[in-house]
Every structure is written in structure tokens, then in C-alpha cells.
Structure 1
Amino acid sequence: MKPENFSFNGEFSAPQASARRLNTLKIRRKRWLAVHLYLGLSAGLLLAVVGLTGGILVFYLEMQEILNPELSVVSLPAVEQRHLRSLDDIVAAAETAKPPSSYFFKVYYPRKADIAYKFLYFVREQNPPAKGDGYYIFVDPYTARVQGLQLWHPTDQYWGRPLVSFIMQLHWCLLLGKTGGTIVGILGAFSIISVLTGLIVWWPLTGKFRQALTFKANAGPVRFNFDLHKTAGFYFSIALLPVLFSGIYMTLPERVDVLVKPFSTMTRPNAYSGIPEMIDSAPPKAGQQTISLAQVETIVQQSYPAGRLWMLNAPKDRTDVFRVMKRDVDELSRFVGYREIAVDQYSGEILKVYDSGTGSNADVFYDWQWPLHSGHAFGWPGRILVLLAGLACPVLYITGVIRWLQKRHAKQAIKLRG
């Protein structure tokens, strides 16, 4: 009579082969668990900070308006009197309030009827005490009255700035400048590995997916912590992976370019713009002056009326161009639909237009990165999902550390009993 689970030709039967395969998979998962553990313990705290601040920043515009309503929010006139002042009047008002030795950098258009224009000015480098400081000036669009001035970006200083600005810097660079930005990008790469190894460790080798996707009923605190870690890790990995990758792209775009360029040509110049930096205005004729912002606005609106005005960047020097961005352009993708327009600062000629979601595969791929990172690609549901994914980062770190300590204490208890 042949032994159980053993065939006549010396091979293991199906149940025994299955058991051996399961054992092999458990050994392999144990190795991945070690990788996941060490990444979590070494980078988890920083990921928790970056994730939490990133989740909060999904609603940074709303936060600014809630925290500083006296600057951002305006009183709406009666409907019959609700007429916007010309952009030239609004610019003139901002100019009266600008800090000494500062220059106009860009203006953000109101996103709603009761929101002020927001002008960004930077102090010139020739002014040593405050060189490079960035100020916001808020102007009422109906009265052209300056509502206030806010020091938004003090150079090389992180304390004493507005809360939302502080959170932005903490998220982008951990308050460490460009070096911190590089660290955050590298951290993002490690975090992707951590998420992927977490999914490998989560995968139920016995096929009990329902158990792996739910909480055990009436479980004690140890099991609850374990279930919270694995379920949160699984569900939020769907949002975390694209958010982490897009974060790497925005902090280390040149490194990501190296990976993407072999597969597709690319015309999009960088992570923040669709129009190349080297586009210049034609040399001015004798006595020719830069056109006004109101003229730029009129030119753009007449040529490309679709969408809403979002941002207007001033030329950086006498050879640069105006750059106007419009959002919610219906004729483009409703997920990543924005249009960027370069205008000659002297003649008003439109020199180049970039439509998001068009161009090469690499261009389209890159156009998705900011909308995915911020959640704006899918409207309010997308923003809420990114917020929850950001909040999940400290939850995963804390529950992971607790799980590690629980297992460590359990091993120590076994040693003491032995």
C-alpha cells in the first residue's frame, strides 16, 4: 500500500505539492514583510507628515478663505449693481499697496463671485533686508479697493508665515528648501515600494479575500489594529500609488523624464507649464511699451473665450511673454482641461497655445499628474479621496509601529517563558 500523499513514481501528490508551494510562498512573503517593515520604520514618519499635509492641502484655497476671510472674501453688491471693475483699475489699486522695491509676478483670478483678486509681488533682490519675499495683495473686483496685504513667502524663513503657506512648505520640502524637495521625491519612491510590498504581504495565500478585506467581528485591540492596517493599506493604495508617483514627478521632473522619454517624444517642458521657457517677445519698436494686463485679457478672451480665467503671469524681463492660463475649458478633457496661452508683451500677438490632454503620449501622461495629485481630476469625489489617502498615511504608520511592537513584545514573552 502506497504512503498517503505519495505517488508510485516518487512524486508528491496534489495536496502535498500544494502544501509545499504554500510554504514557499510564506517564506517569500516573510522576506517582503522584512522589506516593508524596514521601509515603514525608516521612512514612515516622514511619509506620515508629507501625506497628512498633502491631504490637508487638497483644500488649500478654501482654507485660505476660511482663515483669512477679511482678505479673500468680498461683499457681493446687489445683482443689478454687480459689475466687475476693469483689470487695469484693479491692477492700479494693487500697485498702490505693493511693498517698496517689489515687482508684479502674477495675478490669480477670483474662482467665485465673492472672492477677491489675488496679486503676487516679490521684493527685488537689490533690496537686501527683504529680498525675495513674496506678498499677496487682495483687491475687491467690484470696488477696486485693496482688502489687505499678506506676507506669504518670506525668503529662507518658515516660521511666521501664514498657516497654509507653512503647511505647503512642510509638504513640499519638509522645511529644508531644495534639498528637502529632493528628499521628499526620494521618499516618494521608497513609499511606492512600501505600498507595493504591503500589497504583497496583504495578499491572502489561502484565497480568503473576504477575510483580508474586512474587519473581524468582536475582535480585541490587537486584531483591530492589524485589520485597520491591512484594510486601510489595501483600499487607499488605489489613490496612494498615483499620488506618490505624481509627487515624485513634481519634485524630481528630470529624473522621471529619463524613464518616460524612451517610450514617447515630449513637448511639455516641465511639471508646471506647457509652454517652453525660451519663448520670447519680438524686440520692441522704438518707443513701444508693454501692453497692459487688461489688453492681454481682452486679446485672450476674444481669441479663446472658452473656460474661465485662472492665472496671468507677467513677463520676467523685457524679452519674456505674458502667460495666461484658463481652466474648465469644455472643449478639452473635463478631467485635465486647461489652456495656457503665451502673448507677446509688446504687440499682443498670441505666440503659442498649449492645450492640456493633447500632444504626445508623454505630454498627456504628464498633464494628468497635477490633477491626480490634487484630486481635481475627478472633482469633489477625487479631492475627498486624496484627502482620505493623505490622512491614511499617519494611520498606516501608527498602526504599523503598534503592530511591530506587539509582535516584538510577543517574541520577548516567548523567550522569557522558554
Structure 2
Amino acid sequence: PYTAEVVASRFWGQTFTTWVEDLHTQIQLGFSGARIVGIIGLGLMVSAISGLYLWWEELKSPRPPFEKGVLGGISHRLRQAFTLHHKEGLRRFAHDFHGLLGLVSALILLLLAFTGFHLAFPKIIETLAGASGMGHGEDGPAIRSTAAHNNRPVSLAEAVVIARGLFPHAEIRRVATPAGEDGTYRVNLRRPGEVNIRHPVTLVWIDRWSGQIRDVRNPNKFTPGQTLVSSLWPLHTGEYFGPLGRLSWFFAGLTPLLFYITGLVQWLIKRGVMEDRKLDWSGLHSLWINADEAMRRQLPLMMKLLKHWGLWAWTQVRRWVEKLAKDM
């Protein structure tokens, strides 16, 4: 800010992270790629729902006489679902693992697919929810500066101060500078407790000539439809549920690969391309014993690290709670 020297620059698609994100959202094909990804998400929803249906129908097997009534039937099916027959050959194990994996991840995958589809086709849910222009990545309404042009336009720092006057406890996330003579400053802030962490939806538009606040987007005043649309992104990334949610979403994102592998194994065995065979778990048992011994040897060091990082984490949590209480 003092020398006007460019100290760093990051452009979309020129960093590894943005390249991967573009691959994920548009498969490097722009607008058409986003539509293809949305259709794939729709296919994932169909696959998950049909898989759950087939799993439920398959479990309609005879049950023990002591398991009577609806609850008995549900108990019988769940016990079957959570049983891995690891001694009955590769095909049966792949079948059981495929079903178990689908059961524990189906809801997350459905949510990921549903939100991903609507992120690719935002106009559908925006129209249904009455929240036009509020989709992820959209700039919102085209708000213009209406004050008379002068030789003392509002500076970026002044625009930030004006925006923070409305939300004094919010953090500044982004500032879009005016585009053209009639453009406005668009200040993006994140208020305490807002579920959108990376892309919050609190916005203030400021006239570039007078500093007048032209419009405000306040999540606390959203309609249910607007809240739904603005929540699609944090629901899709898992940040809606905090760090644990993001970690769960990460592992859930790996499950489709396991579905395809276990499904392919079953299909190949059924077609006679691959031979069904017994599984040898002795190597895994030895690996577990070695890992257990290694863990026991490193236990004292791990306890020291846990104590050190535990104290650090507790300090950070306490500071965060105190800051949150002060902001409220």
C-alpha cells in the first residue's frame, strides 16, 4: 500500500489448487463442463437411491422366528447389512462391503450430489426458492453509483470503514472495486456464526462517489428460500458442519471409487472373467500386530505430543470462545 510494489499475485487456473477446483467443477471445459458435472451429480443421485432400494429388497430374506413384527424385521436387516462375510470368498466380501459402504455413506453422497447439481444449474433452485442472483459465485444485483461525479471519489479503505459501520464485528473477506464510472464497491464480510466460511454472503454495496450505502445483503433477514440457496455451498463442502463435517465429506468423496471397484469385481466374477477365491487375511493380521507393536513403542512420545498440542488447542478454543462472547 505504500510503494505500489506487487508482492504476490494469484490468478485463477494458474495455481494447483484452482486448477484442481476447475477440474472438479467444470472438468476444464468452462460452462459446458459445469453442465456435464451437474448431470454426473444427477446420475450419482439416481445411483445412490437405486442402490438403497436394491439393498433393502435384497434383505427381504427369511428371518429367525423370534424376530417378529416391524422392529424385528428392521433389526434383522440391519444386522445383515453390517455383517461382512470375509470367509466366504472374494465375491461375497465385495458384495457385503459394497452394501455396507453404501449404507453408511448414502445420505452424505445424496447431499453432495443434490447440492452439486444445483451449483451447476443454479437457476432451477433459485427460481423455485425465490432467491434470484443468490447462487454461489454470483455477484448479486447490478447496483450502480448514482451520485454526481467529482474529483474526490471514495477510496477503498473508506469503503471498508463504511461497510464495517453496519457490521462492526464482521471480518472483511473480499472487496470488489467499482467497474466503470457508475460502478460500486462491493464489500463482502463474514459475521460471527455465519455458516459460509470461505464465501460468506454478507454484502454491502457503496456508491463510489458519495460513499452512500446503496444496498445491503444481511443473512439474518433472508427468507427461507434465500437461506437454502446460500447454504448450498457450505453444505456441499461440509463446512456447514464444521471441521469434522469437512473431514467426513472428504472420506465420503472417496467412496464412489470403492463402489466402482467392488461393483466391478462382482461383475467380472459373475461374467467369468475373474475367478472367485478365498481371501487370505493372515498377512493383514501380521500387519496389524507389527503396527500395534510400533504404536506401543512410540506411545510415550505420542503422549508428550498430545499433551503439548492439547494445551495449545485448548488455548485456541478458549480465545475463540472469549472473542465470540465479546463480539456478541
- Residue 324 to residue 334, structure 1, CA distance change in 2 (3 Å): closer
Q: In the TM superposition, what whole-angstrom CA distance separates every residue of 1:360-389 from its partner, at most 9, and x where no partner exists?
A: 221111121011011110111110111111
| Matched residue, 1:377 | 240
CA contact (8 A) 2:196 2:231 kept: no
Could you tell me whether the CA contact under 8 Å between 2:269 and 2:275 is conserved in 1? no
Match of 1:285 in 2: 149
Q: How many Å apart are 1:400 and its aligned residue?
A: 1.7
Inter-CA distance 373–306: structure 2 relative to 1 (3 Å threshold): same
Q: Is the 8 A contact 2:172 2:190 kept in 1?
A: yes
Give, in angstroms, the shift of residue 301 of structure 1. 2.0
Superposition TM-score, scaled by structure 2 size: 0.70
1:239: Cα distance to partner?
1.0
> 1:205 is matched with which residue?
60
CA drift at 1:405: 1.6
Which has the higher relative contact order, 1 or 2, with Cα contacts under 8 A spaced 6 or more apart? 1
Contact map agreement 2:147 2:210 (CA 8 A) in 1: no
2:115 is aligned to: 246
Structure 2 counterpart of 1:175, from 23, 28, 40: 28
* Cα distance in 1 between the residues matched to 2:86 and 2:220: 46
The count of aligned residue pairs is 259
Deviation of residue 96 (structure 1)? Answer: 3.0
Cα distance, 1:256 vs. partner?
Answer: 3.2
Q: Check 1:272–1:315 CA distance in 2 against 1; reply closer, same or farther (3 A cut).
A: farther
Structure 2: which amino acid aligns with 1:242? Answer: L
- Measure how far apart 1:151 and its partner are: 4.7
Structure 1 residues 382 and 333: alpha-carbon distance in aligned structure 2, compared to 1, 3 A threshold: closer
CA distance 1:200–1:347, change in 2 (3 Å): same
The Cα of 1:328 is off from its aligned counterpart by 4.2
1:152 positional shift = 3.8
Which whole-Å CA distance do the structure 2 matches of 1:358 and 1:169 have between them?
Answer: 32
Please report the RMSD computed on the Cα atoms of aligned residues, expressed in angstroms. Answer: 2.8
SS of residue paired to 1:190: helix
Q: What amino acid does structure 1 have at the position aligned with 2:146?
A: A
Q: Give the 3-state SS of the residue equivalent to 2:28 in structure 1.
A: coil
1:339/1:354 contact within 8 Å kept: yes
Matched residue SS, 2:9:
strand
Task: Determine whether 1:324 maps to 2:187.
Answer: yes
The match for 1:49 is: none
Deviations 1:325-355 (A, max 9, x none): 222424x669997522222222222222212
1:295 equivalent to 2:155? Answer no
Corresponding residue for residue 272 of structure 1: 136
Residue identity opposite 1:205 in structure 2 = K
Closer/same/farther in 2, CA of residues 384 and 412 from structure 1, 3 Å limit = closer
CA apart distance, 1:162: 2.5
Answering whether residue 149 of structure 2 is matched by residue 149 of structure 1, we say no
Whole-angstrom distance in 1 between the partners of 2:82 and 2:166: 53
Q: Which residue of 1 aligns with 2:306?
A: none
Stretch of structure 1 that moved more, 346-355 or 217-226: 217-226
The structure in which a higher percent of residues are strand is 1
2:292 corresponds to: none
Gaps in structure 1 of 5+ consecutive residues: 1-88, 98-145, 154-160, 414-418
Unaligned runs of 5+ in 2: 62-72, 277-328
2:255 aligns with 392
Partner of 1:163: 16
Residues 269/236 of structure 1: CA separation in 2 closer, same or farther (3 Å cut)? same
Match of 1:311 in 2: 174
The runs of 4+ residues in structure 1 deviating greater than 6 Å are: 333-337, 410-413
Matches within 5 A, 1:27-66: none
Residue in 2 aligned with 1:184?
37
Secondary structure (helix, strand or coil) at the match of 2:174 reads strand
